[in-house]
Amino acid sequence: MKLGSILQLGLLLISSGFYANAQSPSLLKVLDIIKHREKYEEYVLVSAHRGYWSTYPENSEEAYRMAIELGADIIEMDVRVTADDVMVVFHDACLDRITTGYGRLREANWSYINSLKLRNEDGSVSQYPMLSLTDALDYLKDKAVIALDIKEKGRLLNKTMKRVLAMLKEKNMLYQSIIKGTYPLQNLQLILKEADVTLDDFIYTPKAYANTPNMDSYIMDFVGQKNIYAMELVYKQSKDPILRYVPIVDAAKIWIGIYSFWPELGDGVIAEKIPLTDTDPIVRPYDFQDKDPDNILDDGRGNWEWILGNGATYIITDRSELLIEFLEKLGFRHK
């Protein structure tokens, strides 16, 4: 074979993802844990929510790097779309809370957003820009399991879901990716068919809430799928009706995921208004006591013991280093 042909073959194999020796051993171990819950009964998965943003701005490269160094199993990021259809990693609908800009992200072009800087937790301006999705993926390629939470709704959600799948496929990153969503199984299968992707190619994590329509069929359809390894059951209080599904999901050896709050301030969590009447953030005074079922702000998810006691085996956290230390003391990080 001529040298030119050999070089072309080598480039083709690299671009197709044939060579896997660049993959992190820790990444491959986490994938094994996720896909074999039955082998890891004494383990609780830790997902770094927006990276590690105690030291660096959330959803920045440094926040992702720090989360990996601290030992988080999964790096979670949020996906939104700008006015000119650039996919970015950003949690809020508005720019005000954690950037030097103002207004709704969906109404801003990438040229404006790319000129902004992210803010640190204390409000100070950092040197870091908002990341486009493609830049975030390039940074994390073969380094860690990533979980993508697409924040768009309706038709834009479907369009963005297919674009995300296409981008992951193009970058040979489906294998290391989790995508979270609320699609019923039949709707999800239609989206995947259009994207020419199957549940064998990536990890899909269904999310269920107390008000999820047709709850029984929604959950049981996914429990019956062989390629569903984790499910987020969003319980907020001890009387939450979704808790009755925890034993069913657990018996199927599916990881039970839930997000745990970390208040930025002593008097609550900084959040956006619901409904979004303006772009100014507010402090939502959550009380993590789980004592008043009529108070939606009395939410048990700020208490790790309460979360574990109600069946969680996969915690999405804003303080991964503290959670990992807590779980190690309980003996829940045995690989």
Cα separation, 86 vs 63, whole angstroms:
22
The string of pLDDT tens digits covering residues 52-98 is 998 899 999 999 999 999 999 999 999 999 999 999 999 999 999 99
Residue 202 domain boundaries:
42-330
Q: What is the pTM of this model?
A: 0.91
CATH number of the domain within which 141 lies: 3.20.20.190
| H/E element, 227 | none
pLDDT, tens only, 218-244: 999 999 998 999 999 999 999 999 999
- In one-letter notation, the amino acid at residue 288 is F
Q: How far apart are CA 46 and CA 18, in angstroms?
A: 29
CA–CA distance, 334 with 328 (Å, rounded to integer): 8
Residues paired with 89 in a beta bridge: 79, 131
Q: Is the pLDDT reported for residue 4 higher than 80?
A: no
In a domain, 312, yes or no: yes
Position 267 scores a pLDDT of: 75
Q: Is residue 16 part of a domain?
A: no
What's the CA gap between 270 and 94, in Å, rounded? Answer: 13
Q: pLDDT confidence of 247, banded at 50, 70, 90?
A: very high
pLDDT of residue 265: 73
Establish if 186 belongs to a structural domain.
yes
Q: Do the beta carbons of residue 47 and residue 257 sit within 8 Å?
A: yes
Domain assignment of residue 17, yes or no: no
- Could you tell me if residue 139 is inside a domain? yes
pLDDT score recorded for residue 6: 40
> What is the Cα 29 distance to its own chain's centre?
19
Q: Which tokens in the block code for residue 97?
A: 């809370």
Domain count, the chain: 1
3-state secondary structure of 147: strand
